[in-house]
Homo-oligomer: A and B are copies of this chain.
Amino acid sequence: MRLVNRSMVTIDDLSNEEIEAVFSLADEMSDSMNGQSNVCQGKIMASLFFEPSTRTRLSFETAMHRLGGNVISAIDVNATSLAKGESIADMARVVGSYADIIVIRHPWEGAAKVTADYAGVPVINAGDGSHEHPTQTLCDLYTLKKERQTIKGLRIALCGDLKYGRTIHSLIYALTRLGATTFLWPGSGLDMPEHIKQKLITEYGADVEKIPADTLPSLLVGREDLAVDTSLDAIYITPSRAHQLALIPDISIPIDLVKEYDALYITRLQKERLAATTEAQDLKRDYPVVDRKLLKGKEFKRTLVMHPLPRIDELAYEVDADPRSMYFKQAARGVPIRMALIALLLGDKEVDIPDKEVPPIQKRAYPLYRRDSGISCPNLNCVSVQETETRYMKPEFEIVTNEPLTLRCVYCEHEVRPKYIASSEWHQGMLKSKKYHSAHSHLVRRIKPENLIIFNSESEAQAHGFKPSNYASKR
């Protein structure tokens, strides 16, 4: 298998088999890590960090040095020409003409995809806003694999800031794809975003079930000291079931909640992502805490305690010496994982993948919606709505489903459900109809995706010269 010249923007850019192959190569890299190889001699990695970071950047740079390659770095937005108003596309094209591979961290969701679109060399996403952080997920999965031999069938609880935690988002996609069952224990107000739960269902065939508060595991109850709001519902995600496209909110089948957890994955509150109006103090009040007391619960007897680091208060230092604590191992394993990934994307290493195995989950292809005017991504942090980027970039969406009409931004993966539609079908040099309809009308199924015109509001439709049809107000 050759991964050469591919980019890793989301965890979905590697198939399950390719992830396994990265792990095999990482094992090989670990063996020869003290000392320097010449696998990537003469190659240059650009490390572009537009957000504060020590750990991830140094991990990538260590990996490149251990491979015998060179590193050029730009850190902190204030020290770069982005301060002069430069676009990501320009930066990507220029740096792509210097370096052989680019690693980028950026506060805007989708920035890594734009970099990959323009750089002309492989790009690795080292975190783009609250979107994804796929190499952290590789480290997490690699740790699970080393400790438990397999991911399939593991029971894993994800705790803390599930809303803004990009490591969580990449991780839950991978865990679901690889057959693990996940339990969500968010801090209050920090639930997993709807568009991510939707993607788990539509892309990976997951069941997403709400667990009634009164059947909660000890993970969530009996912790009066933590002031957990027991009215909080937990969420239970199982992979690869048959029924799709539906959230089942009030399933009451008894779930074996007291069975042991294989891993407890906790993250810090991503303060830097909070809207200016949000009170960090409010969110911290009910934030989950992993400490010695919690880990005494019988369901945690052999649970791996994981954290992407840095931590603040959500993971007590008293747990550090506990053999179940994996977080420093996760960090250390980042180096061989990143060595393997860099070497593969640069084509300096290849790996074998047995041909007979077929990926159980295929990436789904949706029709694209891409027009100059009209609807744009509702996520204010999406790269596609930033002033410097709209100079060259159009909003672009996947049409995930027609009922209700749902678009997913190709950059940040947020979803939008527009209200009005029209058709751009032409007949004898004329638009067949200059009428707009409700997106909830049956006409949405009749218009071919390539002819679809979408409006955010009636006034927008009318400004474009469209008049309401009989179906404009029908729901």
Cα-based distance from A70 to B70 in the complex (angstroms): 9
The reply to whether the CB of A467 lies closer than 8 angstroms to some CB of chain B is no
B52 touches A78 (CB 8 A): yes
The reply to whether the CB of A42 lies closer than 8 angstroms to some CB of chain B is yes
A35 touches B44 (CB 8 A): no
B44 touches A84 (CB 8 A): no
Q: Mark A84-107, 1 if CB is under 8 A from B, else 0.
A: 111001110111011110000000
B65 touches A70 (CB 8 A): yes
- Given contacts A98-B335, A317-B392, A328-B93, whether A81 and B55 have CB atoms under 8 Å apart is yes
B58 touches A72 (CB 8 A): yes
Copies in the complex: 3
Residues of chain B within 8 A (CB-CB) of A19 are: none
The reply to whether the CB of A241 lies closer than 8 angstroms to some CB of chain B is no
The reply to whether the CB of A310 lies closer than 8 angstroms to some CB of chain B is yes
A91 touches B54 (CB 8 A): yes
B82 touches A54 (CB 8 A): yes
- Shortest C-beta distance, A342 to chain B (Å), equals 15
B85 touches A58 (CB 8 A): no
The reply to whether the CB of A61 lies closer than 8 angstroms to some CB of chain B is yes
Task: Name A46's closest neighbour in chain B (CB-CB).
Answer: B58
Residues of chain B within 8 A (CB-CB) of A79 are: 49, 52-53, 75-76
Residues of chain B within 8 A (CB-CB) of A276 are: none
- Among A42-85, those with CB < 8 Å from B are 42-44, 46, 48-49, 52-55, 57-59, 61-62, 65-66, 70-76, 78-85
Residues of chain B within 8 A (CB-CB) of A76 are: 76, 78-79
Cα-based distance from A389 to B48 in the complex (angstroms): 30
Top 6 closest A-B pairs, CB basis? A36-B42, A97-B332, A86-B310, A317-B392, A65-B70, A62-B98
